[in-house]
Amino acid sequence: MITIGIVIFPNVEELDFIGPFEVLSYINKIQAHSTKVLLIAPSLEPVHAFNGLRVFPDLTLENCPKLDILLFPGGKGRTQWMKEPLMQDFIKQHYEELTYLTSVCTGAFFLAEAGVLLGREATTYHSAFDELAEYGVNVVTSKVVQDGKIITAGGVSSGLELGFYLLRELFSAPVAQEVADKIEYKIDVTCL
């Protein structure tokens, strides 16, 4: 079973984490016990997302187990939370054990603040390209960009593509395509 952690924080953009959560969890309906997707937050208090959704995290940053994949969504709250030493330390603590470190939209700034994007190719929300480049990142205009074990996805809805990309890499293109077909999302996963 692949363990996936999605970090959430106050004012996180809902679709940034719900899109990949749905895709990465749905595979269990096709192949039981394939993934375990956990929501991780600074505390176990409900997280109030940007558009009003309240979400209960599964774990805190402090009690997070070993992960295979770590995902950072973006949103308005990122401007505060990406600067928190707790977040940066969390990335650095788990980085070596991860198969993939990922982000959606402006979640790329968590990775940039932790120093893991320096000199790498990555993407983010289109209006934040210049800001990300200031971190020494080679910004690429694409839905999904992989540089080694770091995979970043562009704007808000790109979290869906990131989910399918990960399923393709971890399981296979046919499995990823089956998940896309089941949730009625038109995509050719071989073109990601």
Tell me whether residue 64 is one of the annotated catalytic residues: no
Residue of 2, 67, 105, 144 with catalytic role? 105
Of 20, 35, 10, 60, which Cα lies nearest the Cα of 156?
A: 20
Provide the token pair at 173: 């293109």
Provide the token pair at 121: 């190719």
Place of tokens 């074990």: 149
CA distance 44 to 8: 11
Residues 6+ apart with CB under 8 A from 41: 7, 8, 9, 47, 57, 59, 60, 61
Of 157, 112, 160, which Cα lies nearest the Cα of 136?
A: 112
Residue 52 DSSP label: S
Is residue 159 within 8 A of residue 17, CB to CB? The reply is yes
**Residue numbers annotated as active site:** 105
